[in-house]
């Protein structure tokens, strides 16, 4: 028996509305059918988009998410680059062109700081003119002397070298404005805004420079291209940095350029060339400050579960950026917390606050946060190379951390003291029991960091699979 509808077409308002008008002409009918076809196509595209969004959502939900935390200059961005280098090398290689410009800018910044010190030396060493011992015209004072003299060991040769290097300063200003337009002249570091697409922008800049190289007779090439200008200045850069008089002036002004983030003056002869290509170590050492939260997605190319998706969030560590951390707390499997053992340094944004004390305060807040009760916390006691150099220079820990007392002032005892501090707060403040993972790191050392990250990755992956009941 054929089924019958409970309602007739006359009782269905929608069906009635869709009925063609009784006096519809052939042209009106063709137009109506065309409009229906277009509406169906739009509806189909919307359905496809919804399905794609659902797939992305499901894939993202299954992905492993890591949050890198720590104060500014703790090594978060360097750790991210090590992750990419170790587990997604193809992705890492694709970004090499952008990092070439960043490294060149780092080198130019070091040169700029060196030239500033030389200028300060000239300014401070100029002495008042010696009084003229000769007699003037009767009844008049002797003419005012016009000759000043300098006590600086710097010579006219250094002045000429400085003048020849001055075009680099305009290059530095232009690149800085390109990367961080809203910063104006106030930017004191190599900065980018998260989500600004700076890698694509710099890759385009490098492409335009390469195109100018291929064109004969481009007059603006040397003026605007950092590669060409650095190549032209290479001999002066190397000579100035290796000059012993310049080294003595730097020491006199208590400036250690080699301690600057993004220090590349020792590599100037290699970097300041037309055919320079960054090495992996160059990229890892490059200094770039991220403002805001930047999401990095990559596919694991090797190791356990190749093809799995990972998201790593690199967040700004300065104090005004820290409120941005909280929205990410309820959606990450692991936090890698970087704590440089810089017991004798102060925060750049607040010179009254010790950097290590600030790291411990941050760690305590992370440990006791209830949103993170099931999150794996991994502590990197970072910059062990700087700690070793600091202790070797005879700097005493108890001068800055009185509670350290009279314990031996060596790397092993100092590291154990601070590791136990972090572990103690982790145990006392965690909302529930969880394992304590820690590593001694120097994240600019790509080889040793790669070995550490293999263990970190396996641990995160194991915890993730357990959380989704796979193992």
Nearest 5°: CA angle at 363, between 361 and 365?
75
Q: How far apart are CA 132 and CA 150, in angstroms?
A: 17
Tell me the DSSP string of 349-378. Answer: S-TTSBHHHHHHHHHHHHHH-GGGTTSEEE
Residue length of the chain: 471
Does the annotation flag 1 for ligand binding? no
- The answer to whether 334 and 66 have CB atoms below 8 angstroms apart is yes
| Close Cβ partners of 260 (under 8 Å, ≥ 6 residues apart) | 109, 110, 113, 287
Q: Which of 274, 102, 292 is nearest to 201 (CA)?
A: 102
Does the annotation flag 384 for ligand binding? yes
| Close Cβ partners of 177 (under 8 Å, ≥ 6 residues apart) | 183
- The answer to whether 79 and 68 have CB atoms below 8 angstroms apart is yes
- Quickly tell me which residue has 């063709």 as its tokens: 30
Q: How far apart are CA 426 and CA 437, in angstroms?
A: 10
| Close Cβ partners of 256 (under 8 Å, ≥ 6 residues apart) | 250
Q: How far apart are CA 257 and CA 249, in angstroms?
A: 12
Q: Which of 295, 380, 326 is nearest to 63 (CA)?
A: 295
Does the annotation flag 324 for ligand binding? no
Count of other CB atoms within 10 angstroms of residue 379: 24
The tokens describing 171, both together, are 């290059």
- The answer to whether 441 and 381 have CB atoms below 8 angstroms apart is yes
Q: How far apart are CA 171 and CA 230, in angstroms?
A: 10
- Quickly tell me which residue has 């992305």 as its tokens: 56
Tell me the DSSP string of 313-333. Answer: EEE--SGGGGGGGGGGGGG-S
Half-sphere exposure of 122 toward its Cβ, with a 13 Å CA cutoff?
11
Does the annotation flag 385 for ligand binding? yes
Q: How far apart are CA 434 and CA 373, in angstroms?
A: 8
The tokens describing 333, both together, are 């499997």
Give the CA-trace dihedral at 257, 262, 263, 269, to 10 degrees.
-150
Count of other CB atoms within 10 angstroms of residue 329: 16
Does the annotation flag 151 for ligand binding? no
Give the residue numbers of the binding site. Answer: 290, 382-385
Give the residue numbers of the binding site for Mg(2+). Answer: 290
Give the residue numbers of the binding site for GTP. Answer: 382-385
């Amino acid at each position: 028996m054929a089924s019958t509808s409970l309602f007739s077409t006359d009782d269905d308002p929608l069906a009635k509305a869709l009925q063609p008008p009784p006096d519809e002409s052939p042209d009106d009918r063709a137009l109506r059918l065309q409009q229906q076809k277009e509406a169906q196509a739009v509806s189909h595209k919307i359905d496809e988009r919804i399905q794609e969004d659902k797939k992305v959502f499901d894939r993202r939900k299954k992905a492993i998410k890591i949050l890198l935390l720590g104060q500014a200059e703790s090594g978060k961005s360097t750790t991210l680059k090590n992750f990419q280098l170790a587990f997604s090398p193809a992705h890492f290689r694709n970004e090499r062109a952008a990092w070439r410009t960043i490294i060149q800018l780092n080198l130019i910044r070091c040169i700029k700081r060196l030239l500033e010190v030389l200028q300060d030396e000239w300014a401070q060493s100029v002495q008042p003119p010696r009084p003229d011992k000769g007699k003037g015209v009767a009844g008049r004072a002797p003419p005012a002397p016009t000759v000043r003299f300098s006590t600086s060991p710097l010579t006219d040769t250094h002045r000429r070298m400085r003048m020849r290097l001055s075009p680099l300063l305009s290059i530095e200003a232009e690149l800085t404005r390109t990367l961080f337009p809203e910063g104006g002249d106030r930017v004191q570091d190599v900065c980018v805004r998260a989500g600004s697409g700076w890698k694509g922008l710099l890759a385009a800049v490098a492409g335009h420079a390469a195109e100018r190289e291929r064109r004969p007779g481009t007059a603006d090439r040397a003026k605007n291209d950092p590669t060409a200008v650095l190549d032209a200045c290479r001999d002066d850069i190397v000579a100035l940095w290796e000059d012993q008089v310049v080294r003595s002036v730097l020491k006199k002004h208590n400036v250690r350029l080699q301690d600057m983030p993004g220090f590349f003056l020792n590599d100037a002869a290699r970097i300041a060339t037309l055919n320079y290509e960054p090495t992996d170590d160059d990229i890892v050492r490059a200094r770039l400050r991220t403002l805001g939260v930047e999401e990095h997605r990559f596919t694991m190319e090797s190791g356990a579960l190749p093809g799995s998706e990972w998201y790593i969030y690199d967040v700004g560590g300065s104090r005004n950026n820290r409120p941005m951390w909280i929205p990410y707390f309820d959606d990450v499997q692991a936090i890698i917390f970087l704590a440089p053992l810089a017991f004798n340094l102060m925060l750049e944004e607040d010179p009254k606050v010790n950097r290590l004390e600030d790291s411990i305060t941050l760690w305590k807040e992370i440990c006791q946060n209830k949103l993170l009760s099931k999150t794996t916390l991994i502590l990197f006691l970072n910059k062990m190379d700087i700690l070793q150099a600091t202790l070797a220079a005879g700097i005493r820990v108890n001068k800055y951390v009185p509670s350290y007392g009279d314990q031996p002032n060596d790397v092993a005892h100092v590291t154990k003291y601070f590791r136990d501090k972090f572990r103690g707060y982790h145990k006392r403040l965690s909302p529930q029991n969880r394992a304590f993972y820690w590593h001694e790191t120097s994240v600019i050392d790509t080889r040793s960091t790669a070995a550490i990250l293999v263990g970190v990755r396996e641990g995160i992956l194991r915890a993730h699979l357990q959380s989704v009941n796979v193992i």
